[in-house]
Structure formats: C-alpha cells, structure tokens
C-alpha cells in the first residue's frame, strides 16, 4: 500500500506537490470511488488514473533493440539520442528510474535489457553471474585463426589490464574471416572491440545478438523497438 500522493509521483504522473490537485480533480479512483486525500493508503494494482490502470505497476523489465548511435547514459554528453528516449516518456519520471542492465557503446547495436528494479539490475550485472553475452562482429581485417585458442585460453590479457579475460568463445564464419560471433561471460569496457583490435582485426560493426538464453532474433524487434520480458528468464537461470 502506498500514499496516494506518493503513488502519483512514484509512477511518474506528477510531483508529490502537484498530486493534491490531481486528487481534488477526481483523476484517481479505485473502482468507482475517487481517492481525494493525499494521505489515503492505496493498492497501486487497484488504482485507476484518468480511468486507466497504472502501466507496469509491478515494475519494468524490458528488452530493447538498441539502434546504432544511441547512448546508454541518461544524460547525453555529445547531443546524441539516449536509449531512454525510445521508452515511454512517463518512465523517465518514475522513481526508481529505469536503467540499462549493463551498457552497449553508442556504436554498438543490439539486445539491451532495462529495468527499474535495482536489485535485479545489480544481480544481473554482478561479475559473479557470468551470464553469456553473444556479439556478432564485422572486422576491417581478417581475424587470425590463432585468436580462437588465445581467447579460449583464459590467459589473454587486454592492454592496460592486470587480470586476464575469462575464456571466451570465438566463432568465425567458415567462409568469411572478417565476420563471426564472440561469446563472453563478462563485460569489460569496450571488450569486444579491444579483444579483436589486439589480434589485428579492428571492429567495423558490432551487434549484441543474445544475453543468456534470450536471442534478439526471437523477439522480432526492429531497431528502436522494445518488449516486456519475464525476469524469471534470468532469475531462474543458473
Ligand atoms: N564490447 C564492446 O566493445 N562494445 C560493446 O558495446 C559491448 C561489448
């Protein structure tokens, strides 16, 4: 149960100060009864605001097909659009805020998960979870055949880092040495670009195509589109 004024601000309708006017105007109801007192305790799942149930009343967990050129920051430093602009505007005003679960570079496209559940975000980004992420790459030069064993070894260390990368699986296309997939179980800064650059194959195009068992292809999302996901897909996975 939540105070009616706290509910309106928690779900991004208006500020707590503005809530009194919304309530006086009869915009908040349970069944047919208007809730007029800011301190009334209400069950969010039963509340109607302007006649509509609260969207995503039990929390937000979505998969977005991130387009190229979008930043995962809430505030863009260089004027480029943010992934949050692709989500309903009201979500920006919700508290807690929606955040991305890990990040993709501005120039990386593909599968991005977002949630307003801080505990879930923390659990899924924890280095202990080792959730597999699969990236499809196109490089400017062929990836040398010895890169497969090097990345799988667990002893490959990125420039400027002390600890080696966890074993990663490189799956180059048989017919095209500039194209393939890299499977990682961690998420270091610009990791795919840095790994492939280290073996002389700078990345031209990069797309995240899967996180755990969730495949971007299976979601049929165009770039910029999103879809709700059941968090149990990740919380129930080992
Ligand atoms: N590795 C990268 O280099 N960039 C990303 O966006 C994700 C993984």
3-state secondary structure of 210: strand
Q: How many CB atoms sit inside 10 A of residue 93's CB? A: 15
**CA-closest residue to ligand 1 atom 7:** 104
**Domain shared by 90 and 117, yes or no:** yes
The encoded tokens of residue 207 equal 């797309």
**Domain shared by 139 and 202, yes or no:** yes
Ligand 1 atom closest to residue 195's alpha carbon, by position in its atom list? 3
**Domain shared by 41 and 157, yes or no:** no
**Domain shared by 186 and 221, yes or no:** no
Q: Of 180, 197, 199, whose CA–CA distance to 189 is shortest?
A: 197
CB 110 within 8 A of CB 134: no
Q: Which of 165, 186, 206 to mutate to test the pocket of ligand 1 (most atoms within 8 A of CB)?
A: 206
**Domain shared by 32 and 94, yes or no:** no
Per-residue pLDDT tens for 37-51?
999 999 999 999 999
Identify the CATH number of the domain in which residue 27 sits: 3.10.290.10
Q: Rounded to whole angstroms, how far apart are CA atoms 95 and 66?
A: 23
Residue 235 has pLDDT above 90, yes or no: no
Q: Which of 72, 101, 108 to mutate to test the pocket of ligand 1 (most atoms within 8 A of CB)?
A: 108
Distance 186 CA to ligand 1 centre (A): 11
Helix (H) or strand (E) holding 133, with range, is: strand 133-139
**Domain shared by 44 and 25, yes or no:** yes
Question: Terminus-to-terminus CA distance in the chain, angstroms?
Answer: 33
CB burial class (10 A; 0-12, 13-18, 19+) of residue 234?
A: buried
Distance 207 CA to ligand 1 centre (A): 8
**Catalytic one of 5, 43, 50, 105:** 105
Question: Which of 29-33, 58-62, 84-88, 124-128 shows the lowest per-residue confidence on average (mean pLDDT)?
Answer: 124-128
Distance 184 CA to ligand 1 centre (A): 10
pTM more than 0.75: yes
**Domain shared by 14 and 42, yes or no:** yes
3-state secondary structure of 160: coil
Residue 238 has pLDDT above 70, yes or no: no
3-state secondary structure of 206: strand
Which domain, by its residues, includes 150?
133-211
Identify the CATH number of the domain in which residue 82 sits: 3.30.70.580
- The count of structural domains within the chain is 3
Residues with CB under 6 A from ligand 1: 104-105, 108, 135, 190-193, 206
Q: Rounded to whole angstroms, how far apart are CA atoms 237 and 52?
A: 34
The encoded tokens of residue 2 equal 């939540």
**Domain shared by 79 and 103, yes or no:** yes
Mean pLDDT of 89-107: 95
**Domain shared by 49 and 66, yes or no:** no
Distance 72 CA to ligand 1 centre (A): 12
**How does the average pLDDT of the chain come out, rounded?**
95
**Domain shared by 229 and 122, yes or no:** yes
**Domain shared by 28 and 67, yes or no:** no
Mean pLDDT of 32-39: 95
Per the annotation, the verdict on 105 as an active-site residue is yes
Residue 230 has pLDDT above 70, yes or no: yes
């Amino acid at each position: 149960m939540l105070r009616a004024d706290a509910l309106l601000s928690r779900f991004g309708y208006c500020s707590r100060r503005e809530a009194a006017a919304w309530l006086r105007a009869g915009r908040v109801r349970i069944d047919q009864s208007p809730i007029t007192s800011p301190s009334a305790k209400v069950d969010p799942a039963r509340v109607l605001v302007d006649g509509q149930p609260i969207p995503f009343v039990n929390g937000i967990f979505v998969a977005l097909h991130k387009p190229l050129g979008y930043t995962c920051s809430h505030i863009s430093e260089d004027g480029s659009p943010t992934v949050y602009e692709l989500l309903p505007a009201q979500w920006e005003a919700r508290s807690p805020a929606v955040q991305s679960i890990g990040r993709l570079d501005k120039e990386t496209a593909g599968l991005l998960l977002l949630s307003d559940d801080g505990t879930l975000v923390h659990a899924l980004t924890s280095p202990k979870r080792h959730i597999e992420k699969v990236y499809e790459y196109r490089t400017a030069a062929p990836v040398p055949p010895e890169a497969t064993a090097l990345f799988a070894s667990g002893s490959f260390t990125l420039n400027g880092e002390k600890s080696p990368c966890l074993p990663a699986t490189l799956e180059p296309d048989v017919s095209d040495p500039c194209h393939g997939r890299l499977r990682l179980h961690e998420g270091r800064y610009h990791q795919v670009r840095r790994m492939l650059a280290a073996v002389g194959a700078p990345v031209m195009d990069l797309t995240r195509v899967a996180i755990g068992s969730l495949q971007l292809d299976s979601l049929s999302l165009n770039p910029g589109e999103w879809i709700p996901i059941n968090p149990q897909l990740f919380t129930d996975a080992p």
